Chain A
Amino acid sequence: MFIDWQDKLKRIGNRVVLFDIPIAMHCHHYNINLHKMLEDSLGLEGVRLIYNAAEESNHTAFKIMLEEYPLIRSDKSKLEFAASIYQHCGLGVINFQDVGPNGGRIISPSSHHVTGWLAKHGLRKTPGCHFTRGWIAGALEAIYDLPVGYFEVREMNCKMMRDPVCEFDVRLKGGRHGD
């Protein structure tokens, strides 16, 4: 799939946009500071806030981006597109091979948040990719034309805990796989 990034990522007036959606570039210091601030101040509620924010913003953005690319029709090519966005935004590598509208498993062998967290705070005792969980939920809900909150994404293994990859389990909210 060919995407002209030079054309899609640009400055229009006072905004920097990707597919005409405003974006900001931030470094791992800021992203991880926000993550830690939310966990330290609000505990599980803060974790949920990161997840929900990523889910909502990604769902909205993917709806817009997929509308702009009507040629990306099949679910497989939409998932490829999502992985490509993740990679081009510097968020990492994500592998959607084993997922569908009923849920499934997703692997991420590297990510901005893992690299950033390890650089700033070292290993964790609990999984830490709350942003990526929400990002996955929002992207899949947009791809399968489902509402926000349809999926629940949990992280089973995390590189922040020295696991070899981050592994995510996607289920329909309520706990079961759809199949």
Chain B
Amino acid sequence: MAIDSLKIMRAIMEGSKIRDEKGIIPLFGVYLSLYFTSYYNIVSFDFLSRMGKRRAEEAEKLLIGAAQECGYSTFHGIRQSWEWEELVQPMLETVDDQIEGFLAVATAFGWGGEIEVIDLIPGNRLHFRVHESYESAGYLKRLGIAEVGKCYMLRGVAAAFMDLLYGDAYPDGCFTFSAIEPFCRAKGDTFCEFIAEKSST
């Protein structure tokens, strides 16, 4: 059965409006915020430039790691939440279907629009395509064409999805997988694509 991302999206939009007197949105087992993508892009790309060429590799690793650790905790919380059980679980037929559910949430979160799975080899490899990641859109707008992929958040999240499904049981499986971004709109490609595989280290 296909995952109805619109249904999840509607629930998030509804959920986003449930704000208690504290102005905090507890949803899917986490505190959710809605904020302009320009903020996240300035933070990531200014961070990279402040770290300079000498610390570029460290900076990229930190950005990916921040997202991977977040994706790992968040999507663990998400799949344990009553919202997931009620909205998504009935649409899942196999364990691997969870990936579709995760990607539908990512779309609803505004991370990249339409997302398609190109290939999933259970336990080994996840390959998906993102049509308009906000990171690539932000990079192009702010800094022009890039030499390498710029979607660090989605790289971390891609690996986190595999960690959750095929790594050791939570909380020991984070960083079992790592992801590359062979195609990125920021480099002038038509889409961004992510491939998560077992980490070599």
Interface residues of A (CB under 8 A from B): 5-6, 9-11, 13-16, 18, 21-31, 33-34, 37-38, 41-42, 45-46, 49-50, 52-54, 56-58, 60-61, 86-94, 109-112, 115-116, 119
Contact = CB atoms under 8 A, between A and B. Distances in A.
22 contacts: A14-B113, A14-B131, A15-B134, A16-B108, A18-B36, A22-B37, A23-B34, A24-B40, A26-B40, A27-B33, A30-B67, A42-B47, A53-B39, A87-B19, A88-B16, A89-B35, A90-B31, A90-B33, A92-B22, A93-B21, A109-B22, A112-B33
Contacts of A53: 39, 42-43, 46
Interface residues of B, number: 53
A26 B132 contact: no
Contact of B74 (A21, A30, A41, A42): A30
Contacts of A90: 16, 19, 23-25, 31-34
Contact of B30 (A29, A34, A54): A29
Given A28-B33, A53-B39, A87-B23, A13 B46 contact: no
Nearest to A45: B50
A58 B37 CA distance: 11
Contact of A11 (B9, B23, B43, B69): B9
Contact of B38 (A50, A60, A88): A60
Contact of B13 (A6, A27, A33): A6
The binding surface of chain A is classed by DSSP as: helix
A30 B60 CA distance: 15
B110 interface: yes
Nearest to A29: B70
Given A27-B70, A45-B50, A90-B16, A112 B37 contact: no
Contacts, number: 178
Nearest to B109: A25
Given A49-B43, A53-B43, A23 B110 contact: yes
A92 B24 contact: yes
B134 to A, nearest CB: 6
Contact of A115 (B12, B31, B42, B69): B31
A14 B114 contact: yes
A27 B30 contact: yes
B134 A18 contact: no
B32 A57 contact: no
Given A23-B36, A90-B31, A90-B33, A57 B42 contact: yes
Interface string B76-98: 01000000000000000000000
Contact of B34 (A38, A41, A89, A93): A89
Contacts of B104: none
Nearest to B6: A11
B66 A49 contact: no
